[in-house]
Amino acid sequence: MSKRNRKRWIGALLLVLLLAGLVLVPPALHRYQLARSAELFRVQVEELRSLGQAVSTADLRLTPVPIENNAAVDLLAAAKATQYDREEDAWGKLELGFPLRNDEKKSLEPLLADRLEVDRLVANALSKAGLDWQIQYQPQLLDTLLPHLLQMRNLISQLRGEALVDASNQRYDAAIERVHAIVMIADKLEYSPTFVGHLIANSARTSACQTLMSFLPALAIGDGKGEAGAAQVRALIALLLDESQTAIGLRRAIDSELVMQIGVTESALTYPNPEEFERKRTGVLNAVRTRLFPEDHGASGRAFIRYMQSARSAATHGNVLDMKANLPAQPPEIDESVLLAMLLPNVTSVAEQHFEAIANGRVAAVALAVRWYEIKQGRLPESLDELLPSFLTLLPTDPMTRGARLRYVATGDRPMIYSVARDGEDDEGRERDPDSPRAERQKYDIAANLRLQPRKPRTAVNNAPPSDD
């Protein structure tokens, strides 16, 4: 071979080696970085475990309790005893308010046919200290089913219906007992995993408060037949203002979401054929890219851990504004992970719903104390300070503000107590209209009227015949 040809071959070989290096070395370095990133993720998970934080579904399990002391067993039996039919969804079709119209009472009769058995089981449940929802946890929290949440929603709908029937029949002692039961069930639902469990607990608590506020202007308190007793009223006020369980529920929900995301990340890190997964999901070109430069699930997993740790810290704040101000921005690494981005919870929305449920409780408690004061004194208090210390031990602030008081209007045709709700603006007690075509955008406050207001006309969605009231 001539010297010239030898140089050409050597040059061609060097070019091939250079091209091979350009093709093979970056992916190899990337895979090394992925392995290092995955190891750092696992180290971070172990650090959380050493601090006693939940990192797997095993850490979310409640301590098993004997069946005879397990409130969940009786609550689930009570839900099963209701007349709810999932196919018919009778509760979802009802528009209930106070006072009940005659046709509404008639519609409720078949739904409340077994109320004596339901009430017996609920009373048994609420007399027990132990709680275990007996959730069949799967290694992946994402695969864990939570059927008790739907069952409890049905039970709460039944108890709300019972409360309105009792209040409409001037059995206020029974109505207050039903409201008390709903709040206690909401507290027990806080021990369900994931944000969904916490949101349903919030919904139950809000339902109890709205039910109470609907008949509160007519509430009779005293020792007479059907009147709510002073001890009953005092106990309900204390329960509504005890926010310890809802705070536990928010922290548990955040921990559960972290467990879910850790499980998803670990599954992604051990997926046997990521390029095949990517090919099925987005096509051949992305599968080739994934083959050469796989997604850095370890980095996105670590970013999610940091994000949820910051959210957990923000959850310790006592009002929605401070919590939202301390929530971290979403890390860019999460956006780069398809799996984690799909499952990332909207923590801001959860925070708003959490504090709106607390606001409902505080408004309902103060309004109940005002009603009690009015019955005792024969007039509304000029200031909420007059409720201290006989009717309230303290005046709660509005959790939708940074320490401002709940608004109180004592004069005019519509005296009321109200919170400014999630927008933080005083809308003068304007109530939310769920039938509005722009219900999500409307401005509203969380208000408890101290005088009965006319019920709104039936909406077009409800096709029931007009009442004969």
Task: Please check whether residue 98 is in contact with residue 214, taking contact to mean a CB–CB distance below 8 angstroms.
Answer: yes
Stretch (H or E) spanning 372: helix 347-377
Q: Where are the domains of the chain?
A: 26-384
Residue 33 burial (CB < 10 Å; 0-12/13-18/19+)? middle
Nearest partner of 339 among 251, 292, 255, 269, judged by Cα: 269
Distance CA 330, CA 343 (A): 13
Element holding 409 (H helix, E strand): strand 407-409
Which of 399, 404, 417, 420 lies closest to 351, judged by CA?
Answer: 399
Nearest 5°: phi and psi at 416? -165, 165
pTM confidence score: 0.87
**469 residues of the chain, pLDDT tens digit each:** 576 677 677 777 777 766 666 555 556 665 677 788 889 999 999 999 999 999 999 999 988 999 999 999 999 999 999 876 554 567 777 888 999 999 899 989 988 988 999 999 999 999 999 999 989 888 888 888 898 998 999 899 999 999 999 999 999 999 999 999 999 999 999 999 888 999 999 999 999 999 999 999 999 999 999 999 999 999 999 999 999 999 999 999 999 999 998 988 888 777 655 444 444 444 444 444 444 445 677 888 888 899 999 999 999 999 999 999 999 888 877 766 666 677 778 899 999 999 999 999 999 999 999 999 999 999 999 999 999 999 999 999 999 999 999 999 999 999 999 999 888 899 999 988 766 656 566 789 999 999 999 887 765 444 443 444 3
User: What CA dihedral angle connects 313, 315, 317 and 321, to 10 degrees?
Assistant: 120
Taking the C-alpha atoms of residue 17 and residue 12, their distance in angstroms, rounded to an integer, is: 9
